[in-house]
Chain A
Amino acid sequence: MPSLTLLGQSVVSGLLAGGLYALLALGLSLSWGLLRLVNLSHFALALLGAYLTYQLGHAFHLAPWLAAGLIVPAFFALGVVLHVVFARFRVTEFTSLLVTFGLAVILESLIQWFWTADYRRYETPWASASIRVGPLFVPTLELLACLTAATLAVATWAWLRFTYVGKALRAAAEDPAMAGAFGVNHRAHAFVLSGISAAYAGVAGAFIALISTLAPAQIWAWLGTVFAVVIIGGLGNPVGALLAGFLIGVSESVTMAVAAPAWAPLVSFSILIGLLVLRPERV
């Protein structure tokens, strides 16, 4: 049995890792839950955002928050354009899997072509900064990523819950024709939502650049875990995605501490399977 300090430290790093999962899960959950599009290229976009943050910092000495300030609006526009294509070709929930898988592979190849398959590390003075809380260490950047995820999740939740556009998006997700009969222009809203989803990938990308080592194949590393987070959190439920991120992050990291790292995916997917057995109506 590991010491209490080790256990405490693993809970902290689990929460922080969960924050990053949630940050990645947010956009995916929104487009899956509200547009009925499973966007596998979301991970590729996030990694592209990470490489761009790295490139802008490395080559142009642009601070990461300024880089994010450029990347996030650009990704919003990219998300809108992507949805124009999806709408034009009448992409459905199932075909979206195929189309966005293809898109992810293309983006991966582009990243590999431009930045090569070598590992890239964005060295910043803040990379090793951390806050000490008693015997525990909290890395500052990961904490910031986690707080950003929480802020975005709560803000998005409030937007969906309290604004007319948010309610219209949820109504149209259930029955687009009926929502349309009451004046909801779902086609127009879908562009905005797709833009927001891609913008969130950009935010996640900026933090990934700062926190982790970059490699093109990283796209696929997140896929399983973040999918589990999206489904456990409930499709289209941002706060659910945040809590599910924490749940998966903590259970993985505690498993790594008490058992072995190899057991971590088993725990997160057991949670997913257990949930699907007990509450199948969630998907």
Chain B
Amino acid sequence: MLLEVRRLAIAYGDAPAVWDATLEVDAGEVVSVIGPNGAGKSTLVNTIAGLHRARSGELRFAGLDLGAVAPHLVCRHGIALVPEGRRLFARMSVEENLDIGCYRGEARRARRETLDRVYHLFPILSERRRQAAGSLSGGQQQMAAIGRALMARPRLLLLDEPSLGLAPAVVDHMFEIIRAIHAEGVTILLVEQNVVRALEIADRAYVLEEGRVVAGGAPAVLREQTRIQEAYLGLRDGGGPS
């Protein structure tokens, strides 16, 4: 098991954001987490990436207790985050953003090779390498955010709402890219509001509601559950759109 999250609880001050999240990600899988706005999806992946501390529960990555790892050392173990809203370093150039991606250890030594790979995956980033990241279009910023995470040469890539705010054609492209990254052997944990897409690409999926994982399993199984059809797929009685 690459990632094990067991009964995880996370709070902002006194306000609980996640209070019972249990999920697993196996090496080589694509796992989606779906759920409504404010269910705690972003909090969950941000915590895995070391941005927040869990209040209780277990967080293990490749057998290692992430709860005991300093925030800035989490990435060293092979976890990289593409956060919601991209959060690029807007005043820095595209290439400088990518350089921050490979800031740590081994990733820095492999910079040239990984950079070629990222530019091959996103030729537009190579064209704009000297441009301020904040001046890119939404889709290009998303590519830069994914590129930055890939520069860290992660074993586990955390993708938070990669399709948010993008035009449908760009969303198609983004999911192709995610497939391509997965095909290279990167394990992916995807948080996505676009449930149809999220279930399409996933090997397994979890449903997070009000800070709690309420369902999980193969996409085909989840699609059959009436409640999920009603809440997320806009279907009723397993039939056509309501």
A residues neighboring B (CB under 8 Å): 164, 167-168, 170-171, 174-175, 177-186
Q: How far is the CA of A167 from the CA of B50 in the complex (A)?
A: 21
Q: How far is the CA of A181 from the CA of B51 in the complex (A)?
A: 7
Q: How far is the CA of A179 from the CA of B99 in the complex (A)?
A: 11
Partner of A182, one of B90, B91, B152: B152
- Residues of B in contact (CB 8 Å), total 28
B103 & A174 in contact (Cβ 8 Å cutoff): no
B80 / chain A contacts, CB cutoff of 8 Å: 181-182
- Measured CB to CB, the nearest residue on chain A to B99 is A167
Q: How far is the CA of A183 from the CA of B89 in the complex (A)?
A: 15
Partner of B92, one of A167, A180, A185, A186: A167
Contacts of B163-214 to chain A: CB distance below 8 A: none
- Measured CB to CB, the nearest residue on chain B to A166 is B96
A164-B99, A180-B51 are contacts. A170–B91 as well, Cβ < 8 Å?
A: yes
Q: How far is the CA of A175 from the CA of B87 in the complex (A)?
A: 8
**15 A–B pairs (Cβ distance < 8 Å), ordered by A:** A164-B103, A168-B103, A170-B92, A171-B89, A171-B97, A175-B87, A175-B89, A179-B89, A180-B50, A181-B49, A182-B100, A182-B101, A182-B104, A183-B104, A184-B100
A167 / chain B contacts, CB cutoff of 8 Å: 92, 96, 99-100, 103
Comparing B8-16, B35-43, B55-63, B71-79, the segment that makes contact with chain A is B71-79
B92 / chain A contacts, CB cutoff of 8 Å: 167, 170-171, 174
Q: How far is the CA of A180 from the CA of B104 in the complex (A)?
A: 11
A41 to chain B, nearest CB (A): 27
10 more CB-based (< 8 A) A-B contacts, given A178-B87, A183-B104, A184-B100? A167-B92, A177-B51, A178-B89, A181-B50, A181-B71, A181-B80, A183-B72, A183-B73, A183-B103, A184-B72
B75 & A181 in contact (Cβ 8 Å cutoff): yes
A180 / chain B contacts, CB cutoff of 8 Å: 50-51, 71-72
- Measured CB to CB, the nearest residue on chain A to B148 is A182
B108 & A164 in contact (Cβ 8 Å cutoff): yes
- Measured CB to CB, the nearest residue on chain A to B101 is A182
